[in-house]
Every structure is written in C-alpha cells, then in structure tokens.
Chain A
Amino acid sequence: MINRNPQLDENGVLQHLLTTEGLPASVLLHILDTAESFVGVTERDVKKIPLLRGKSIFNLFFEPSTRTRTTFEIAAKRLSADVFNLNIAVSAQSKGETLLDTVNNLSAMNADMFVVRHAQSGAAHLIAKHVQPDIHVINAGDGSHAHPTQALLDMFTIRRYKSDFRNLRVAIIGDILHSRVARSQIHALTTLGVPEVRVIAPKTLLPKMVERLGVHVYHDMAKGLKDIDVLMMLRLQNERMKGANLPSPEEYFKYYGLTPEKLSLARRDAIVMHPGPMNRGVEIDSEVADGKQSVILPQVTFGIAVRMAVMSILAGNQV
C-alpha cells in the first residue's frame, strides 16, 4: 500500500531527507536558499555558527566513504554540533548486529540526527521508519537508489552558474543504471523545472523504462550533447569497467569519455560537473576536468554549505 511520503510530516514539513523524489520544488529551493546564506560562513576566518550546539549527529557509514563523510562532518562541526563517526562496515555489522539494532543502540545514546550511507537501496527509508519521531535521518547514499545531498549541491552549483532552471538543457552521462546520484539528479532537475534532461549511456548502463523518469535517452554523445548547457558526468565504478556491462575502460573512454572534442559539441558556455572521485581517462579527460568549463571543485565547496542547510533545516523542524 502506498503511504504518505515518509520524508514529510502531515503538514508537509521536512522530517528526513531520503530522496529528492516527491519533494515539492519549494522544499528544494528552501534548502538551496538556506545554503546560499552558509556559503559566506565557509569563507570567514571563524567558520562556526552555533545553530546546532548541543546536538549529536551520528555518521553511520555502512559502506566506506571518505569524501562524503568528511563533508558531512565539516558541515556539522561548522554548525557547532557534536559529531560521531561510526565506520560500521568494520564494527557492529561484522559481529552480526542488524541494521536496526545498531540504530536503536545509538538512539539510546540520545542521537538527534543520523547521516546514513548503506550499500542497500532503501536502507535510509528503513531507518527513518523505525527511529523515534524526534530523530532525523539524512540519506548519504543508499545502494543505487538515492543520494539527495549530492543532487542538491549539484542544483546549487547549476544555479550559481546558470540563472534559471527553466531554460536549461542538461545531460547526465555515464552509468545511470547503478547510479544513486543520477536518480537523485533527475528528480531534482525535473522538479525544479528543467525542460529537457537527457541521459547518455550505452544500453548496458541504462535501467529499464528510464524515460518514465522524465528524461530523453541517447546512446550517442554527438547527438546527446548538442545544445547542452550542463554536463553532469558520473563515476564509473572499477568493477563495472570490464565484464558484462562494458568490455574495457578504453572503449568506454573512446565513445563516452568527455574529451575537449566532445565537449565542443555542447554549448560554448556549458559547464561540466562530476560528483567525484573522478576516473581521469575513463569517463573524463584531464584537460576537461581541469579546464575552464569545469566546476568540479566549486561543487565540493558548495557541498558543505548545502549539507549545513539540510542539517539546520531538519534540526529546526521539530515535531
């Protein structure tokens, strides 16, 4: 049976950030606007504000990650929260404790917020469904399902460089099939009114009926990149490079890797994004990654402000 969107309470107020799907544009824009006010903080000498003083935030990473975990940690600390990092991949789970047992134990330590990464799609939803109502859950990536803060920082970046979502053509390029980032980007872009979102990939890297998400499907970079304003590259996982999905990283680079030549097919003022970490020479050429159309490093900086915004909004939205 379909329930109410589990991220929102009965008044439509954000309680958890689990996915960008189903969130109204007003909620997404509120997060982006709030992040705008935090960008200044990250540029000051004293980078702390006391919004989350006394709050306990647990980073629950059931899957290894350095970058995302670190940016969440920095964001929480800049808001003066107490941050606890749990690398669960090597602790409780290996002793046979279930996901919900781990969460219940930490809840008993008066957690206010969980930042969760897990290899299984739906893990963050499961936790959000079972925590006490005053605890907030942020999905930092679940399986191939969603990575909403990444998508939001991407939206923030696009808004910084391109004025209006409503006259953009955006292309997402690479392993859509396994990408939680791509799914969250697609929902965020369509919700914010981007009229044309394209996905470009070989057929082995596209999920079935992906067009139902509101995207146009291309298999050819030359056609797919025409008139594009924003290129969102995806990371190709090492284990997918040789096998049943793709024959070799070389062949992939030849047909789908972003080179200066391929980039020249897009609009002249197009920006290039990547969620990191990059495989140079596989999905993107160094000349493009470090080139003047690249906004990959600003994405990382904005990521902190966006995560600060999400945390402060959730902490402020008490039940």
Chain B
Amino acid sequence: MKIHIKNGRLIDPKNGIDAVQDIFIAKGKIVAIGAAPDEFQASRVIDAQSLVVCPGLVDLSVRLREPGLEYMATLESEMAAAVAGGVTSIACPPDTDPPLDEPGLVEMLKHRAKSLNQANVYPIGALTQGLKGERLTEMAELNDAGCVVFGQPDGLLPNLRVLMQAMLYASTFGFSVWLRPQEITLTGDGVAHDGEVATRLGLLTVPVCAETIAIGNIILLTKETGVRVHLCRISSAEGLAMIRSARQQGLPITCDVSINHLHLSDMDIGFFDSNCHLMPPLRSSSDRDALRHGLLDGTIGAICSDHAPVDEDAKLLPFGQSEVGATGVELLLPLTLKWGSEMRLPLLNVLSKITSDPARILGIDAGHLSLGSAADICIFDPDHYWKVTSSAILSQGKNTPFMGMEIPGGVKYTLVNGHIVYEH
C-alpha cells in the first residue's frame, strides 16, 4: 500500500525537523519526504492539515498481562490501546505469569503479538530465573528469541553478589540491564511515600532511602562491571541527583520517569484514592518538580506510561490492599504534551522524550522518520482536548488517577510498518 500524508506538520526529533512537509510511504517504508518520488501513485492520501505527524511513540514499560494474567487484560485489548495512543513500539516487563525467563515463552509472546499486526513488541527478558534473584537466565538464548534487554522490574533486586554476576554476564554480550531501584527490606509492606500524607492517613510507608540506597548500590556495580544500566521509574529528587552525578562521571546509566510521577504527588491520594496506589509511590511535590526538571536537563532520558491495567475489583479495596498500578499507554502522549506545555518547551524537544530518546535507550531502530526507515508514524491533533473516561479508554484497565481530567492530544492515525492500524 502506498500512502501519501500531506499538509502535516512533520516533527522528527532525531533528525531535527519541524516543518510542514509531506511523507510518502511504500512497502512499509518511508520513501520520500517533501516532494513525491517519480511516478508515485498513492492508494491512500491522508490530509494532515493542522495535525502533527511524528514518529510512532516508543513506550518503555507496557504490561500486556500475557501470559498468565489475562483476567487483568489481554494482548488484544492492550495492543489496541497502544496504537490508539499512537504507540508503535513497546517494551514489556517480564513480570508475567510465568515470567519471561525462557526463550519459548518469549517466542510465543512475539508470535502472538506479530499475528495481531499492531505495535512492535519488545519483551524485556528476566534477568534471573523466575525473577527470583538466584540463578541467571539464558540471556543469549533469550536474545535470540527476541529479548533486547534484561531486567527485574518488580523491584525485587537479586542479592548484590547475584546482581553483580548478572550484570557482568549481560555485559559480556553487550546487553543492557534494566532495574527498578528498590531496597526491598526498606520497602517492606509500605504503600505510600514517607511524608505528611502517609502520616495523616496512617498508611505504611516507603522511605526515599529505599530508592537511593538501591541506586547507590547499582551505580557502584555499574562501575565494577561496566554494563549499560537503565534505571526504571525514578521517583525521588535525591535519587535523581545521584544519577545525574553518576552520568557526569561518564557511567553508562540512563533512567526514565512515568507519566504518573511526572504530574502527581502523594497529595493526590486525597481520601485513599486507590488509583494512586503505585510503585514506586507518588512522592512529594518537590520530588515531582525535580523529576520534571530532570527531563529537561537530560538526566532522565524518557517518559514511559508504566502501563499496568488492573481489574476493577482489585482497586475496590482499602488502599493498602488494592492492586498496584495504573493504566496509561493511551495517556502517554497527552500527559507528555501537558508536561511540555507547562514547561513551555518546543514540541520537537517534548516529543523526543517519547520517540527517539526511548528508542536509543531500548537499542532499537525506531522513533524517527528517516528515509528508508519503517513507517511507524503517529498523527495527532495537538489542540484537541479530551476527557479521560472509562469509555474513552480502550485498555481493559480503567484504573488511572487522571480519570475525569481533560488532557490534550488526540491521536487521529497510527501507522505501523506502513499499515494504518488505528484511525479515529
């Protein structure tokens, strides 16, 4: 299928382009930008007048809940949600049931995802067998099966000896290691940031040092092993400062922040809103402000949705007993735009945080609109505001702290490999 996208405002952060230009697509690839190639006969013309045409978004954390957790969500529902959000490449944490620790499971997931012909799925392989933190997984085999990076995303870090070995082993093959920094003995049964809100509400707490102690250990182990490390879901100003200084020393460390932590603080828990039961917990407003600036100075490389659909009953429980997580893949673009406009940033810089930058962290060839590259494209109306409601969200999870809010950015078309997979 040959597609001509005309009159759109093309924004391609990687190539530094922000201009009204047409794009021409054939055989799944971008074949021309600007003028049409000779004898180009479009079978479909998309008029993108007053719309933004940008690379399909790259989301570094989307839980598809398969295999094993289909009562929360299915591949079908969440893949449809992803493309409705303009997301064309997704990294999936290995905390499924069973975890993604065997090549067969990864192949099955890749195969299932491919047959749906929607977003590209990049499974994050388990760093240790069963995510138990005891024995290394067959990382090279898992890589052959399709895992691009390896992690322990539920925050259960292996003991330091095993972690060091896993990092050394991963670095042997040039794989990067993705870790959510959390010292579990300090987290315990905690459900909220150790601050005024938890004190008022009588909730068990997760101190900031649960994050910073883990970051400190990981930084030292990065020095020791030389592996590339990505720290997932930073929540505190102090943790951010440690990462900033490690990067200044030249250590190969990147990190990301979730849309939730970019906009919310523990105050948003209000009267025990279980939609705000997240891990790491929402921290103070000064932590949130530091994260918003950390993105600006580049310490934080990417914004992710930390998409975690939860079934409704699991949230209709007292705060501490409710399931952790929020749906988000459809909110990634709007909440990134919201951050950008609140910080008064040009769209080119804003969109890099959800396209080219996360693609580089994940190590994939995506998130840009270069000639000859796969035509993964998101076309959206930046001035369209919509209200977050259960029916407006396609994800099976309806749990989000942003329910009821008006947010900017309506996705009109999503293309993956030159196919229109979403149209609104």
Chain A positions within 8 Å of B, measured between CB atoms, are 1-3, 6, 21, 98-100, 118, 120-123, 125-126, 130, 142-146, 180, 183, 207-210, 212-213
Which chain A residues border B405 with CB–CB below 8 Å? 1
Between A120, A125, A130, A142, the greatest number of chain B beta carbons within 10 A of the residue's beta carbon is seen for: A120
Q: Is there contact, CB below 8 Å, between A125 and B200?
A: no
From known contacts A1-B268, A3-B270, infer whether A122 and B318 are also in contact, taking CB-CB under 8 Å: yes
Bound state CA distance, A183 and B198, in angstroms?
A: 12
Q: B271 contacts A3, CB within 8 Å? A: yes
Is B316 at the interface (CB under 8 A from chain A)?
yes
Return chain A residues, CB-CB under 8 Å to B67: none
Q: Are A212 and B318 in contact (CB under 8 A)?
A: no
Question: B residues near A, CB below 8 A?
Answer: 194-196, 198-203, 205, 207, 267-268, 270-273, 313, 316-321, 401, 404-405
A-B contact number at CB 8 A: 80
Most buried by A among B199, B267, B271: B271
Q: Which residues of A contact B320 (CB under 8 A)?
A: 120-122, 143
A144 to B192, CA, bound (A): 13
Taking A3-B270, A100-B316 as contacts, is the C-beta distance between A121 and B194 under 8 angstroms? no
Least Cβ distance of B184 to chain A in Å?
Answer: 15
Q: A257 CA to B375 CA in the complex, in Å?
A: 73
CB-CB under 8 A from A210, the residues of chain B are 199
| Contact present for A2 and B199 (CB under 8 Å) | no
**Contact call A145/B201, Cβ cutoff below 8 A:** yes
Q: Is the CB of A120 within 8 A of B321?
A: yes
Is there contact, CB below 8 Å, between A118 and B318?
yes
Residues on A with C-beta less than 8 A from B273 are 1
| B268, A183: Cβ atoms closer than 8 Å | no
B267 touches A122 (CB 8 A): no
Expressed in whole angstroms, the minimum distance between the Cβ of A129 and any Cβ of chain B is: 8
Query: Are A207 and B199 CB-contacts (below 8 A) given A99-B318, A121-B320, A122-B320?
Result: yes
| Contact assessment for A213 and B205 in the assembled complex, using a CB-CB cutoff below 8 Å | no
In angstroms, Cα B272 to Cα A142, docked, is 12
Task: Kindly report which residue of chain A lies nearest to residue B268, judged by CB atoms.
Answer: A1
The reply to whether A1 and B318 contact each other, CB–CB distance below 8 Å, is no
Q: Are B316 and A144 in contact (CB under 8 A)?
A: no
Selected A-B contacts with CB under 8 Å, 29 pairs: A1-B270, A1-B401, A1-B404, A2-B267, A2-B268, A3-B271, A98-B313, A100-B316, A118-B318, A120-B319, A120-B321, A121-B203, A122-B201, A122-B203, A122-B272, A122-B318, A122-B319, A125-B271, A126-B316, A126-B317, A126-B318, A143-B202, A143-B203, A143-B320, A144-B203, A207-B198, A212-B196, A212-B199, A213-B200
